[in-house]
Structures are given as C-alpha cells and as structure tokens.
Structure 1
Amino acid sequence: QHDVSQKKLNESLTFVVETAVNQVGVNVNTASSSLLQYVSGLSKAVANNIVKKREEVGKFKKRSELKDIPRLGAKTFEQSIGFLRILDGSEPLDRTSIHPESYKAAKALLKMVDVSAKQLGGEELEGKLKEINEADVAEQLEIGRPTLEDIMKSLTQPGRDPRDDLPKPLLKTNVLSMEDLEQGMELEGTVRNVVDFGAFVDVGVKQDGLVHISKLSNKFVKHPMDVVSVGDVVTVWVDQVDIQKQRIALTMLTK
C-alpha cells in the first residue's frame, strides 16, 4: 500500500515539475541534471552529459554549443532548445524564447530598427517596433506574419513564456472548468508541450491535459514528435478526469 502511494506521489511531483519547467524554461548554466531531465526532449543521459560538459569546460556561452553534447541529436536540440536559456552568454538572443532557426530574421529585424541585441526588452526597441509596417517587414524578412509577431514579442519581453501566444483552443462545448469535463467529450485544443511520454494539450480549462504516447495514434508511435508539434490544434476526447489531483487524461484515438 505504501509503495503504491509513494509511486503516485512521485508521478504527481514529476507532472508538476515538468509542467513548470516547460512553461518558464531553465538556465542551462545553473540547472541541475535532475531539473534538466524535465525539459521537453531531454533524457536522463543527455541531462547528465550537459552538466558533465559544463563542469569540464565552464559555463556555456551560446546555445549552439549544446549541439556538441553527446547523445543530444538534431531532433532533441530542436525540441528542447526553446526552453534552455543562457542569460549571460555571448549571444543576447539565447536568453529569449526565439528558436535559433529564427535568429537570422530576428537580427535582420534589429538591424532594420537600428537597435542593438544588447538592448532587448528596452523601451527604445519597443517604441521602434511599434512603428514598423508588419506586413512589409514580414515580406522583406521572408517569414510569416505570426512568426514576425512572435519574434517581436520575444525581443521586447525576453523572459516571457514561449507558449503564451499560441492559438487559444477552439472549444466545441461550453467547457469552463475541469468539473465540466465528461468522459468521451470531444474537444479541440492546442498542443502546449511535447515530451517523451506524450503531449500536453490546452483544452481551455486551468490544467493542460495529457495525451499519453499510447493514445496519440491508432498506429505505432516511436516518438510523440512524429505525430504532433507545439502549437498544433488537435481534436481530442476526454479519457479520464481526476479533479482531486488536477489531472486530465485525453486521447486522440479515433473510434
């Protein structure tokens, strides 16, 4: 009986920490191995390798150095890097939620408004960005308007939650709280985070629901990233609701 209770307690703790870490990100130069393991996409081995490398060579100066970490492949880098921050490194953009894939566009935008990357979050930058014609700039930078808006917000608010401005879930019912959820209810939600064991989906109530990897597809799924990505709008069905533990289990399996 004690073992079962301990197991449930550990699961609850893991769920809470994982959700928190992937909402606010972690400082890769100060985070412990145990904390890094909760970052989307990072295994225990990779987390240990990050700390080992940091102890050997000192603090990381830029995000790109993490590509040299053993067992941290391209897919893991792509999935986790938005949550790994370097606050005092050589690349100012590394403390934002901007993905390295968008650095070129972000730097071009800063050059357009004649503001240094060292002035992120400053009033001057915010004022100049308000004056630009977003449609024209997006075209010049060859990026979509939503991407430009996301970059602008990250430049003016470097420490913000990278998921705050994802599309809000489109509810198919008048769900307002967990108490309104019923088993089998069909909802539309937004994928907020993808981890090794599944995906967290925002269905419009306070707590994100978890679609376990076994409930993502009727076909075999090697990794959740093969099926969903952060920002995807998906159709889900309520599998189980535990109001006491504030947990929502969802499924994407078609009937």
Structure 2
Amino acid sequence: MAYAIITGASTGLGEAAALKLVEEGIKLISVSRRESQKLKEKSLSANVSYSHFSCDLSSSDETISVFGQIAEQVLDQEKDIVYLINNAGVVEPIETVGNLDFHDIISSIQVNLTAPIMITNLFLEKAKDSEVKVNVMNITSGAGERPIQGWSIYGSTKAALNLFTKTAALEAEHGKKNFMINAFSPGIMDTNMQHTIRSSGKEAFNDLEKFLEYRDKGLLRSPEQVGSCLVKLLISGDLENGRIYYVNDLLK
C-alpha cells in the first residue's frame, strides 16, 4: 500500500501533482493553509482515500504538531511506502539586500527551508522502528544554484535545501536503508508564483523583463505537465538517492 503526503497542495504544482497521485490510486494527505476543492472532488469521484490537514508552515509549533499526527497515521506496518513531497514554498521577499523586511526573511526561511528539514527529520525519527519505506522529494529551484538579483533569500533557502538533501542521503548510506531523499527542480511554470514575480519592481528584480517575456512568448510549462513528470519520477522506483532531478532533463 502506498501513501503520499504533499505540502502546498492547494494550488500550482502541489495541486497538479496531488491530482496525478489520485489518478494513480495512491492514498493522499494534503497539507496547506486551505484545502483544494478540486482535489477533494477528484479523490471522491476516484474513490481514493484522501484527507486534508490545515497547517501554517511558517509556524514551527504548528508544523511539528500537524506532522506528528500525520506520521502516527501513516507509519504503520500496513504501508509499503510513504512518499513525502515537500512542495510548499514562497518566493517573497523579492528585494535587494539592505531593503529586506526582517519578518519576511524569517517567514521565507521557515517555509522554504526549516519546515522541510523539520518534517523530514520527524518522519525519519518516527520511522526508526518501522519497515515502511520513506521516499522524500524536496521541491527546489534553479535559483539555488546561481545568484539572481532580488532573490537572495529564496535562492539561499533552495541552495541550503539542496545540500540538506544530499547530506541526508549520504547519512542514509550508513544508516536507515529504507529511506530515500531527492530534490526536483520544476523549472518555470504558469503558477501564482510567476504572477508574484511579474508583479515585482525592476529596482528589486533586475530580471523582471525576462520573466514577462516567458509569459508573453508562451514559454511557461503548465503545472499539470510538470506535476505528471514529478509523480512519474517519484513512483518509478528508479531513483538515485541524493540526486537532484531537473524537469528540463526529464521532458526533453
């Protein structure tokens, strides 16, 4: 029996991937501040087990509480594998260093980096005495591999998430054998995050015109296309532990 948990499943890539998981008949738990009605209706019509947990990932206490409940629910001997997709993320603050808001810095780091680390750590701790295989997929970004003006916080959190992924995989070689962790870079998609990016100012984000061009020239992939690619990769059973996968390589 397979189970999947995905954060940020109310819109964009998270919702698209969750819908695809339901199509594959995988039991699903979505975690976000609000529930996707489309996902709720899809799981009902497909007769696939589904539940939603409301959670503000910018709150450490709330994250620990909610995922503690989820881990207790899914990490039992009836499950063969649990897929954990750390998808939720925020691109804000889009601003140059020296003009960043302290509260925005803390919130971004919490959602993009601290929450995935805490969730992964919690699941491994709870899975120590279980035979259930845990596959973690962290959603990263090309911004974590090169500097982009205005994205110092977003890029830094994704760079750190990449290193966390590789380090946890390295540790798994000498420890728990039923643990797999990878990262997936989804490229540029037509999502609400893109709208946020395009709404930023030129002074804060020098690449603004480039992202406007992506939209105008139809260069943005749909969340459905990328979500299907992500799910296909995740359930393929052919993952290399610690590897970062790029949608541009998978959708050639």
TM-score with structure 2 setting the length? 0.27
Of the two structures, which has the highest relative contact order with CA contacts closer than 8 Å and spacing of 6 or more? 2
Q: Which structure's CA Rg is the greater one? A: 1
TM-score with structure 1 setting the length? 0.27
